[in-house]
Amino acid sequence: MTMLEHHIDEVVTLLAGARRVAVLTGAGISAESGVPTFRGQDGLWKHYRAESLATPEAFERDPALVWEWYEWRRGLIASVEPNAGHRVLAGWEDAFEEFAVITQNVDGLHDKAGSRTVVELHGNIWKLRCTREGTVEEIRETPLPHLPPICPSCGALRRPHVVWFGEALDPAVLGRAAEISRAGQVMVVLGTSGLVHPAASLPYAAARAGAKIVEVNVEPTPLTPQADHFLPGKAGEILPALDRRLREARAA
Ligand code: BV8
């Protein structure tokens, strides 16, 4: 048995005994579907860093450029499918008494995989919001007929219904994520670099409330020293392995 298999068995024992499980995901879980992550080479669009485009200042300065970026991402996300990692998490809705996915991703792939309890911390790229009235509409059509999109009722610019850097998260959404994190007996943290706040603080809040932290990532992150279990590898490979062993453990 390899070290990884040994660690996977330890995590399966933990999960098999848990009734309340929370999962926090980042861009890494969508990487195997073909969605670029934010860090490293992937994090670049043309020569802009994601953090420089995903800001209210950038939108103020050049809404057409920001919309070109979001349109590129919508087109890319529309062309991909959820991967095995997303699908396992969708299946875990019925494997635990209480289960929820808290995601930093705006790609909507957890929903597309069939997850029902998803907290979208940073919004959703398929939703547009009027910059004057604040009304939100889901528009999946890509490419959008008109860029930048205009509000049909008041003629003001529409923006992506996502949280930009320097903008506060919706207090109700953040409150729910914090509640779920504190209530979990186990928090599985998948494919996140743990650098963006306040999302990155949720695993620490969960640990303070007594939850066991299981981290899955292709490389260590600032969270790794605090994690009870670190499973090195791809989410789309580790989650199916965990799921298989969990089913075997429960069948035994
Ligand atoms: C706010 C939506 C305040 C838009 C996003 C405290 C300390 C330091 C800084 C701050 C702080 N508090 C606030 C800040 C500022 C800032 C922040 O955190 N900056 C960082 C960069 C230092 N936070 C904010 O601005 C937040 N707002 O604080 O408001 C406020 C309060 C009141 C009033 C006014 C203001 C808002 C943050 C949200 C920004 N929006 N997204 C869009 O998507 O277009 S963030 C965006 O980037 C994503 O949503 C995600 O959250 C983040 C990217 O992180 P990850 O998802 O982790 O992705 P990343 O690429 O970094 O890493 C991928 C990981 O996966 C890697 O570890 C890799 O190894 C791994 N991986 C890769 N492949 C796989 C894999 N793992 C497993 N399997 C694989 N196959």
Query: Of the listed 86, 122, 197, 229, which one is catalytic?
Result: 122
**Residue 160 C-alpha to ligand 1 middle, in angstroms?**
17
Do 100 and 74 contact (CB within 8 A), yes or no? no
Q: Buried (b) or exposed (e) across 115-145, using 16+ Cβ within 10 A?
A: beebbbbbbbbbbbbbeeeeeeeeeeebebe
Q: How far, in Å, from the CA of 40 to the mean position of ligand 1?
A: 13
Query: Does the beta carbon of 219 lie inside 6 Å of ligand 1?
Result: yes
- Minimal-distance CA residue to ligand 1 atom 14: 197
Q: How far apart (Å, rounded) are the C-alpha atoms in residues 214 and 88?
A: 16
- 47 catalytic? Reply is no
Determine whether 239 is exposed, middle or buried from the number of CB atoms within 10 Å of its CB (0-12, 13-18, 19+).
Answer: buried
Rounded distance from Cα 9 to ligand 1 centre (Å): 30
Chain segment 82-110, per-residue pLDDT in tens: 999 999 999 999 999 999 999 999 999 99
pTM: 0.97
Tell me, what's the pLDDT at 41? Answer: 60
DSSP classification of residue 217: E
Q: What percentage of the chain has pLDDT greater than the value 90?
A: 92
**pLDDT tens across 57-84, in order?**
999 999 999 999 999 999 999 999 999 9
Among 223, 106, 109, 123, which residue's Cα sits nearest to residue 168? 123
Angle between helix 235-251 and helix 84-91 axes, rounded to 10 deg: 30
Give mean pLDDT, residues 206-223. Answer: 98
- pLDDT band at 186, cuts 50/70/90? very high
Q: Hey, which residues does 231 pair with through a beta bridge?
A: 216
